[in-house]
Chain A
Amino acid sequence: MLLQIGDYLAGAMIGVVTALIVRIIIWSGMDMVIAMLVGGGIGMIVSLLISFMLSPLLGIVETMVPGSLTGMYGGMLFAMRDSMAAGSRTMTAALVVGAIFGIAVTVVMKFYNHALRGTVMEAGE
């Protein structure tokens, strides 16, 4: 149970930190494609670092997969929004969006895990 709660907290943390760094680095009016690439790169590095930091508490695999998705794709989305000034107006709002995105990705991955788990191939001997 604690590990499950930890998964959601880890997703939220990665989302928040990615949104924070993206908000600091990406300025309004920045080329959207460059912003997207920079945001994705930032998210990858953030998610990798946080996943490793949390792995003694939560394990590496189940933190890293949703965390990396949150970091990479979240970083891209947050950066695109920030470059177009189309996203959250305040830093607090940007961080809340980051947290919600991280939790949402974790939820989706848990649903996927429920659907994909189990035997996929068994041959008769």
Chain B
Amino acid sequence: MTEAAMDVQTQNKWDRASRTYDFFATVDDRRLGSEKQKLLTKACGKTLHVAAGTGNDFKFFPAGMDIVSIDISPKMLEQARMKAAAYQGSIELREADVHNLNYPDETFDTVTTVFTFCSVPKPILGLRELYRVLKPGGQILMLEHVRSTAIGPVGIMMDLMTQLTRQFGPELNRDTVSNVQKAGFRLRRVENVYLDIVKVIEALKG
């Protein structure tokens, strides 16, 4: 895909965020690192990791895997390069837009995402694209933050805050569990990690 065809607005947003991303993400790794590790340990076979960011999540993958890690932001990928080189296995970094992946149908055994689908502009379209590139029976492993439904005032607050946060970062009120199902996946497991906001979502193709 050419750069012009990508979502330039999203690309610019994450290029800007790349400058301070690690500074802000370090403590979240301390809080949620064990959950990331537990989830990403389940990855197997040829794996597509969506939204490489600065490569913070690479250390949570088991050693020896064959991973393609994509991101829409070239600046993020620049920073991810060193962490990819330090991984004990194969990580190929690619600039790509999840809405339109340059891979044939049924390429990957596993797809992984960590706090990604709060920021994908068209989440169902992106998830359908991931469905397309997964092999039949392949799995998608997600750690995502979503809108709270269990605590009414929190849900309302997230709807209002999203009007601010979407200007420079993620949307806080996505219903990613439903979106996964709308894209065609069959849910295998959903786990609340923090309140009912941060969730592990595991689903299968077919």
Q: What is A's interface to B at a CB cutoff of 8 Å?
A: 3, 44-45, 48, 52, 55-62, 65, 68-69, 72-73, 109, 112-113, 116-123, 125
Q: Which of B23, B26, B150, B190 contacts A116 (CB 8 A)?
A: B150
14 intermolecular pairs with C-beta atoms under 8 Å apart = A3-B31, A48-B161, A48-B165, A52-B24, A56-B26, A59-B28, A65-B195, A65-B197, A72-B160, A116-B150, A117-B195, A120-B190, A122-B190, A123-B189
Q: Which of A45, A65, A118 contacts B154 (CB 8 A)?
A: A65
Closest to A6 in B: B27
How many B residues touch A, CB cutoff 8 Å? 32
Given contacts A69-B153, A118-B192, contact A61 B197 (CB under 8 A): yes
Given contacts A48-B165, A123-B189, contact A59 B30 (CB under 8 A): yes
B85 within 8 A of A: no
B191 within 8 A of A: yes
Are B161 and A44 closer than 8 Å at their CB atoms?
yes
For chain B, residues 152 to 187, give those with C-beta under 8 angstroms from any C-beta of chain A.
153-154, 157-158, 160-161, 164-165, 186-187
Closest to A52 in B: B24
Residue numbers in B under 8 Å from A117 (CB-CB): 192-195
Residue numbers in A under 8 Å from B28 (CB-CB): 55, 59-61
Are B195 and A116 closer than 8 Å at their CB atoms?
yes
> Whole-angstrom distance between the alpha carbons of A57 and B27 in the complex?
6
Q: Which of B23, B161, B187, B192 contacts A68 (CB 8 A)?
A: B161
Are B151 and A119 closer than 8 Å at their CB atoms?
no
Smallest CB separation, B102 vs chain A (Å): 31
Residue interface mask B7-45, A partner, CB < 8 A = 1: 000000000000000011011101110000000000000
